[in-house]
Amino acid sequence: MAENTEPRIGVFVCHCGTNIAGSMSIDDVVNYAKTLPYVAVADQYQYMCSTPGQKKIDDAIKEYNLTGVVVAACSPRLHEPTFRTATKEGGLNPFRFEMANIREQNSWVHMHGMWDEATQKAKDQVRMAVAKAAKLEDLVPKSVPVEKTAMVVGGGVAGMQAALDLASAGIKTYLIERTPTIGGRMSQLDKTFPTLDCSQCILTPKMVDVGRHPNIEMMTYTEVEKVEGYIGNFDVTLRKKARGVLTPTEATAKGIVGGGCNGCGDCSAVCPVIKPNPFEMGMAPRKAIYIYHAQVMPLIYTVDFDSCVKCGLCVEACGDKKAIDLEMQDEFITVKVGTAVLATGYELFPIENKREWGYKQFDNVINALEFERLICASGPTGGHLVRPSDGKTPMKVGFVLCAGSRDNTGIGKPYCSRFCCMYSLKHAHQIMEKIPGAVAYLFYMDIRSFGKMYEEFYYRIQHEGAKFIRGRVANVLEDKETKNLHVFTEDTLLGRPVDVEVDLLVLAAAVQPNEGANELRKKFGVSASQDGWMLEAHPKLNPCGTTTAGVFLAGVCQGPKDIPDTVAQAEGAASAASIPIHMGEVELEPYFAMCIDELCAGCGMCVNLCPYSALSLGEKNGRTVMVVTEAKCKGCGTCGGFCPGGAIKMQHFTTPQIVAQIDAFFAGGEQ
């Protein structure tokens, strides 16, 4: 639009069915819009986001020679891209579009008996949007090249699936896992619901596929130290923790022909140091040089330097392989990737914080993962379920569901952990299947069997004879002589208190973000929900994306979910992460800050305030001024709001545009 051309604005008001039209007079809003300065046309439609609704915009731009478009409808987060595309198809620069949110910010909060007030508020919103639209400028998106590599952080089932999908799409993928082996929590499980498949039977082939894939560089016992850059060009510094053991490849690089660890275990056999094995939930020992379990990938031993006494027996046992280096140090390497997928999983809520259930007070109160290891054929008891106190077979086993979940006391977690009900049903089945005559008691408030074949599995367990007692467990006490447990609750269906004596009590503990996940998400610039889980860009329309372009989420790090949903999200995240890489470049919305060099004093205040690390100081024409890394800038306006010299211009949110909106608010209409 030429500088001296008078603005011609088109206003389009959406009914959104009755979401908007049920709370205000659309006719009044449209008729009011027609009276506003610069408005050349005002119209309405049931659903502006539909094809006919968008065609109205296209046709009006051409018929009325519009210079700007305003749509009064829902949130820009939902349909701004839709209407921007319609504006572009009509022949206008897509950034000459402004949206008035008269649904989330108006009709939905004024839907009960506030017809006139909501109508007036919508008029105010439209008036302000028109005032800004009249001052909008043509903006041009910028493109940045994308590195042809990806990174997946987390080696559980989500991380493995994402890495395999990316690698199978021809993309070099770094798979980063902080423990010595991939596999994650799923490798600790005995069976999976509702099919009762052996967990390792499903998982181990996938672990092997990851290890063999030519496009996957698997880096276990490695952590993300630092992240710099932006979508397409992330520089990720990794800390390869000192493993104390050389792989065959590393040994060859050091000139040790035929050397390196082959997983024989001779070193561990002679190690004198015994420590609890965290993979077995501390219920079995391991040595200071160890592997977690027989199916580890890679099959390389690891030295726990915190407990190693460096006696040298392992070095002697290793012999000519010369695989053990007790002087090994952490190594830092930097890799460049185009996109990243975070799949850091979960850990159990420390259920000992709920003192009333006796965890870590009474020997025979265990959590669900401890139960999994006890009943698993590869576990510390070879799959024979025994009581920790005396090694006897339990005949009466209780399961406390929602142990720490759906808890509003401030101690537990307020959310549902989603898969606890189903694995508790699975555990009840396993008890009754493996121990003839055993009884399973499930203490619950609600059973949430939401997935495919889950309800049928629930009915199956009922028919197998499991005892369901609806009520919150108030207290658990131990019989000092028998070590049996008395579970005190109220049966809400019968309306009476209940005391159930059991041999073993299993707590279906809540899940929470994995240790280190909070620091990791900060390094990648990812926000967190109020519950601490990594926050998706949009819960419905972009559940795999994040506020940091190029960084995606997979699995339970984003929130509790079962294995099928975890794998599905991992596939979605991998697909989303592959798109920029295959395109070769990404287009950036031009909503970034711009420095007005002649006004900039080079004080650096904005650099320290920027939440996205997008600003720096640089030399230009002999002066120190602010420099914007446009690919990292999100246009949040923090820098512009704090700049003491007014030297920062926010594109699409310039001072004249914002002032015009403020003036329009106070300029007219009923207040």
314 marked among binding-site residues: yes
118 marked among binding-site residues: no
- Give the residue from 395, 355, 430 showing the smallest Cα distance to 501: 395
**Cβ atoms within 10 Å of 14's Cβ, excluding its own:** 26
With b for 16 or more beta-carbon neighbours within 10 A and e for fewer, the 61-88 pattern comes to beeeebbbbbbbbbebebbbebbbbbbb
Is the Cβ–Cβ distance between 511 and 503 less than 8 Å? no
Which residues on adjacent β-strands are paired with residue 219? 176
CA dist 628 and 544 (Å) reads: 28
633 marked among binding-site residues: yes
With b for 16 or more beta-carbon neighbours within 10 A and e for fewer, the 440-473 pattern comes to bbbbbeebbbebeebeebbeebeeeebebbbbeb
14 marked among binding-site residues: yes
606 marked among binding-site residues: yes
Tell me the residue ranges of DSSP E strands in 21-171.
39-45, 68-73, 97-101, 142-145, 149-153
561 marked among binding-site residues: yes
185 marked among binding-site residues: yes
CA dist 133 and 126 (Å) reads: 10
User: Coil, strand or helix: which one is 495?
Assistant: coil
Is the Cβ–Cβ distance between 346 and 513 less than 8 Å? yes
201 marked among binding-site residues: no
376 marked among binding-site residues: no
354 marked among binding-site residues: no
- Cβ neighbours of residue 670 under 8 Å, at least 6 residues apart? 120
537 marked among binding-site residues: no
421 marked among binding-site residues: yes
198 marked among binding-site residues: no
- Residue 145 tokens, joined: 């090249």
318 marked among binding-site residues: yes
557 marked among binding-site residues: no
610 marked among binding-site residues: yes
Contacts 24+ apart (CB under 8 A), 537-543: 538/77, 541/78, 543/569, 543/572
636 marked among binding-site residues: yes
Is the Cβ–Cβ distance between 373 and 271 less than 8 Å? no
- Cβ neighbours of residue 274 under 8 Å, at least 6 residues apart? 285, 286, 287
- Residue 52 tokens, joined: 């006919």
Tell me the residue ranges of DSSP E strands in 216-258.
216-219, 222-230, 233-240
544 marked among binding-site residues: no
Is the Cβ–Cβ distance between 490 and 193 less than 8 Å? no
Is the Cβ–Cβ distance between 44 and 26 less than 8 Å? yes
CA dist 606 and 593 (Å) reads: 11
271 marked among binding-site residues: yes
For 392-412, the three-class secondary structure string (H helix, E strand, C coil) is CCCCEEEEEEEECCCCCCCCC
- Residue 627 tokens, joined: 């420099």
96 marked among binding-site residues: no
User: Coil, strand or helix: which one is 431?
Assistant: helix
Contacts 24+ apart (CB under 8 A), 329-332: 329/242, 330/239, 330/240, 330/241, 330/242, 331/239, 331/240, 331/242, 332/225, 332/237, 332/238, 332/239, 332/240
177 marked among binding-site residues: yes
HSE-up of 441 (CA within 13 Å, CB side)?
Answer: 25
- Residue 123 tokens, joined: 């008029």
Tally: H helices and E strands in the chain: 17, 34
Q: Which residues are annotated as a binding site for FAD?
A: 157-158, 177, 185, 193, 346, 426, 540, 556, 561, 563
Q: Which residues are annotated as a binding site?
A: 14, 16, 49, 74, 157-158, 177, 185, 193, 261, 264, 267, 271, 308, 311, 314, 318, 346, 402, 416, 420-421, 426, 540, 556, 561, 563, 600, 603, 606, 610, 633, 636, 639, 643
Q: Which residues are annotated as a binding site for [4Fe-4S] cluster?
A: 14, 16, 49, 74, 261, 264, 267, 271, 308, 311, 314, 318, 402, 416, 420-421, 600, 603, 606, 610, 633, 636, 639, 643
